């Protein structure tokens, strides 16, 4: 049931693949890029990145209605993200992103005494994704290391799929909730303006009915 990273990127509509292509073009055509975006233009403040990580999704914590036993859960899955930012000042940026958080899985045996599950073998999966908009504040620690914090909103989409002894039902919902995170960036010192980013993010979903906790590593390109 788990999907590989390629599947995740494909589900995102190929956006991540296009970001990688654009980064590659920017690297191989760096001289042309500098001519297209001369010093002092707004494009110098733009950056884009693609990342991969792992998300812990605790949606399944609420699926025990007191009637289940032999519970098995898998709350962690591969997650992917793409993002674009604009530096308003050297220490403040506005960042937009799209993230696919993967799946959370639950399976158990129900005796039917609760208010959610029918008797028999039961299982469920939660799939979550969302668009984010955040303010990012950054502070240089050394010439190459910068720490940052971010605060914003996630416009999320959630899909629950239930299987009760072969009877399938689907519940979809969407909304917006608070999102925040912190991390660091490491400038590798190449003329192509590569930056590695390592971050932790927490997203509240459905008025904090469950949390998406994500750790990720990203490759960032800052336009010349």
Per-residue pLDDT of the chain (224 residues; tens, 9 = 90+): 444 444 443 444 444 444 444 444 444 444 444 444 454 445 578 999 999 999 999 988 888 888 888 989 999 999 999 999 999 999 999 999 999 999 999 999 999 888 888 899 999 999 999 999 999 999 999 989 999 999 999 999 999 999 998 899 999 999 999 999 999 999 887 666 889 999 999 998 887 788 999 999 999 998 87
| Total domain count, the chain | 1
Per the CB < 8 A criterion, the answer to whether 85 and 132 are in contact is no
Q: Is the pTM of this model over 0.75?
A: yes
Owning domain of residue 45: 5-222
Q: What are the C-alpha distances in Å from 85 to residues 10, 96, 205, 211?
A: 22, 6, 23, 24
CATH of the domain at 196: 2.40.160.20
Length of the chain: 224
**Cα dihedral: 134, 137, 141, 144 (round 10):** 50
User: Please, what's the b/e burial string for 153-175 (b: 16 or more CB within 10 A of its CB; e: otherwise)?
Assistant: bbebebebbbebeeeeeeeeeee
């Amino acid at each position: 049931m788990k999907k590989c990273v390629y599947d995740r990127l494909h589900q995102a509509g190929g956006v991540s693949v296009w970001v990688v292509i654009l980064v590659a073009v920017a690297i191989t055509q760096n001289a042309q890029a500098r001519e297209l975006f001369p010093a002092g233009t707004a494009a110098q403040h733009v950056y884009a990145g693609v990342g991969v990580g792992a998300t812990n999704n605790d949606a399944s914590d609420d699926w025990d209605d007191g009637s289940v036993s032999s519970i098995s859960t898998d709350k962690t899955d591969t997650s992917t993200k793409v993002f674009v930012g604009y530096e308003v000042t050297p220490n403040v940026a506005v960042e937009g992103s799209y993230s696919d958080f993967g799946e959370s899985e639950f399976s158990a045996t129900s005796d039917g005494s609760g208010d959610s599950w029918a008797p028999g073998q039961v299982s469920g999966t939660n799939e979550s994704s969302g668009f984010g908009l955040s303010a990012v504040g950054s502070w240089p620690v050394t010439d190459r290391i910068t720490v940052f914090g971010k605060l914003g909103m996630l416009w999320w989409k959630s899909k629950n799929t239930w299987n009760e002894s072969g009877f399938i039902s689907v519940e979809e919902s969407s909304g917006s909730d608070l999102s925040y995170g912190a991390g660091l960036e490491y400038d590798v010192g190449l003329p192509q303006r590569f930056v590695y980013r390592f971050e932790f993010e927490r997203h509240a979903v459905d008025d904090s009915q469950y949390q998406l906790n994500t750790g990720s590593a990203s490759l960032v390109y800052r336009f010349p």
